[in-house]
Structure 1
Amino acid sequence: MDKTFSTLEQRSNSSFGYWNRAVADTYFDMHLSYQNSEHFNGVLEAWDLSVVQLSCMTSDGAIYKRVQKDCSTNERQVLVTLPVQSEIEFSQLGRTTRCDPGQFLLELSEEPFVFGHSRHNEMWVLKIPVSSLRARIGEPKRFCARSYDAQEGVGGLLGDYFRLTMRHREMAYDANVRALMGAHFVDLLALSLQGHPDALQSSQSAVRDAHLARIEEYVRKNLCDPDLAPDSIAQACGISLRYLHLLFKDAEASVCQWIREKRLQSAYEMLQKAAPQTSIAQIAYAVGFSDHAQFSNAFRKKFGQAPSELRAPKMARGAGRVPVAGIEIASGAISRTHH
């Protein structure tokens, strides 16, 4: 494990402050109140899986509150929480839901929320950058504060993968295996959300979300096309170009900017998993960049390092890598290799 926090090693009167710091260090700043104001026990373990962080929180009852002044949009994160022992209550974006063992829910870091459980509980939590999830399902806000099934269908596969990974958490896997495990988590989460009836619900319009879901699917399947553009997307999705731009009016980026973000995020994840013999140029072409220099410049601007710098530690480790057959977007949507 990469981090371990335990109140068992703390004096009783210092366990509350210690747990506050442990939660902030693992997730982000929150205000906590406790079911028992005199005594609290908790253990928090966390593992780095490259793009995502997996953690196991076992503790007495508590309420976790994220207030507006602590919220930031600079590093947007999503927490995916799966309770194991007892139910949790969660409120965000004007919605309140109860999540029982066998279910999971999503929490946004940049919006205030209240999260709590009154009884002793064990919870498994994924911390995922919004950019990684948005590349597959679009804006995740529409999926937050809802309970999803972790026992049947693709959600059941996600729940099973949680359990499988927890059984292997003491194994000293190298960075390549961890990156692959993290990508599997994101893929299974995205697939389970896409197949859920709530996928087409939002606070705005089911029709609008239906169009966005169709646009997202088309772009994922055609991300390797360097000529992918608003006009071809609109035509393929049966809407006007004007309406396409209107759909993105309230988004954080224009259509073209959104496509570029998806290309760069997919490239980042592919660099984490690709076999050593796969060149950076191949990865750039696989996500639709026809100019290697342009790709490298855009990648450095977004991630603060060149593709070769991200690749360097992996190349230096030599053998023992997890091979990736061909060049694939992590979601499996694109499987063509460009030469």
Structure 2
Amino acid sequence: MHKSFSTRDLPESHEFGYWRDVIADAYFNLQLSFPDAHHFDGQIDIWDLNGLQLSRLQSSGLVYRRLRQHCAVQERQVLVTVPFKSEVEFSQLGRTTRCSPGQFLLELSEEPYDFGYGQDNAMWVLKVPVSALKARIGEPSRFCARQYDSRQGVGRLFNDYLQLMANHCEIDHDASVRGLMATQLIDLLAISLQQHPDALQSSQSAVRDAHLARIEAHVRQHLSDPDLSPERIAQASGISLRYLHLLFKDTGQSVSQWIRELRLQSAHEALSRANGQTSVAQIAYGAGFSDHAQFTHAFRKKFGHAPSDMLRPVRGR
């Protein structure tokens, strides 16, 4: 689904309030400051990609502020901003960075921030639920307010795939194709973040992240196994069970909770790609859930709707 909003044909002075409302609907509540108090131009095109949102934003110079009172009212989100016309400046969690065309950065919805540019700009903005990214890289806060190169390596692959998706957004692909594209885009984003040298802050965190990467690879490979347990994971990863639990101590969840989150996220992505012949039970068992009722209860609690609700539109078509 494509939506487009523009200030082009608005009466004079109406563009400021209109743009505030558009930005709040597209992303979340922000305080806007307009350097030019007499005139503003802005256009935004928005595409829904089965849980992700891609937008192309073009506007005059502007400052966006996420205030503390805005931060605790909705699902946690990450905005990935890829400017392609001029530089943006961003501050969050005590870090300030400048992001130029050829780079991208991350913004967290649950923390205050300042984001601005003093001249006309254009950018891609990808809105991603934190749960989708967290399942791949852990807590994303350590990746925010840093520049990531979109001109080489996996960063370029992520950027190129983003452009490709934008080109295909105008094509009426079915939900399973859109879901597959969204999953692949998140995978590329996660890999490009993990490969950035600033992601590891010390030799201790490098060792820890190496263990977690090995653990995650094993768990993802065996996610469909309902007997996957912390004991098996520790043994396969060559570490003690005690050290495995220690690695997860600062993540705010246990190993078992993390595995369940991975399974729920995997099932959600599989449902978004499903065709009319796929059943909820097949997807539940494929994600490692051995009890259909428990899966449905956990899925509804996490996503706010039953897994079968995601299949009804597909079957209807």
- Give CA deviations for 1:187-208 in whole Å, capped at 9, x if unaligned: 2212222333334348x94443
| 2:41 paired with 1:41 | yes
Q: Which moved more, 1:236-245 or 1:263-272?
A: 236-245
Deviates more, 1:4-13 or 1:119-128: 4-13
Amino acid in structure 2 at the alignment position of 1:265: Q
Aligned partners of 2:49, 2:201: CA distance in 1, in Å? 31
Query: Which residue type is aligned with residue 290 of structure 1?
Result: S
- The one-letter amino acid paired with 1:295 is F
Q: 1:26 to 1:191 in 2, by over 3 A?
A: same
CA distance in 1, matches of 2:16, 2:180: 36
Q: Which residue of 1 aligns with 2:62?
A: 62
Q: 2:5·2:44 contact (CA, 8 Å) conserved in 1?
A: yes
Secondary structure of the residue aligned to 2:4 is strand
Aligned partner of 2:241 in structure 1 is: 241
- The number of residue pairs the alignment matches comes to 317
Partner AA of 1:168 in structure 2: H
- Contact 1:266/1:287, CA 8 A, preserved across alignment: yes
Of residues 267-276 and 172-181 in structure 1, the stretch that sits farther from structure 2 once superposed is: 172-181
1:14-50 CA-partner distances (Å, limit 9, x unpaired): 2111111111110001111122122111001111011
- Cα displacement string for residues 49-87 of structure 1 (whole angstroms, at most 9, x for unaligned residues): 111000010001111111111112751100011001011
State the Cα distance separating 1:255 from its structure 2 match: 1.8
- SS of the residue corresponding to residue 9 of structure 1 reads coil
Q: CA deviation at 1:301?
A: 2.5
* TM-score between both structures, scaled by the size of structure 2: 0.92
Distance 1:224 1:276 in 2: 22
Question: What residue number does 2:123 align with?
Answer: 123
Change (3 A) 1:76 1:238: same
User: Which residue of structure 1 aligns with residue 209 of structure 2?
Assistant: 209
Report what 2:145 is aligned to: 145
Conserved 8 A contact 1:4-1:44: yes
Deviates more, 1:241-250 or 1:141-150: 241-250
Within 1, Cα distance between the matches of 2:297 and 2:214?
A: 30
Matched, 1:257 2:257: yes
Contact 1:142/1:201 (<8 A) preserved: no
**What amino acid is aligned across from residue 273 of structure 2 in structure 1?**
K
Cα shift at 1:267: 0.3
The corresponding residue for 1:327 is none
Runs of 4+ in structure 1 off by over 4 angstroms are none
Using the alignment, how far apart are the partners of 1:218 and 1:196 within structure 2? 22
TM-score by length of 1: 0.87
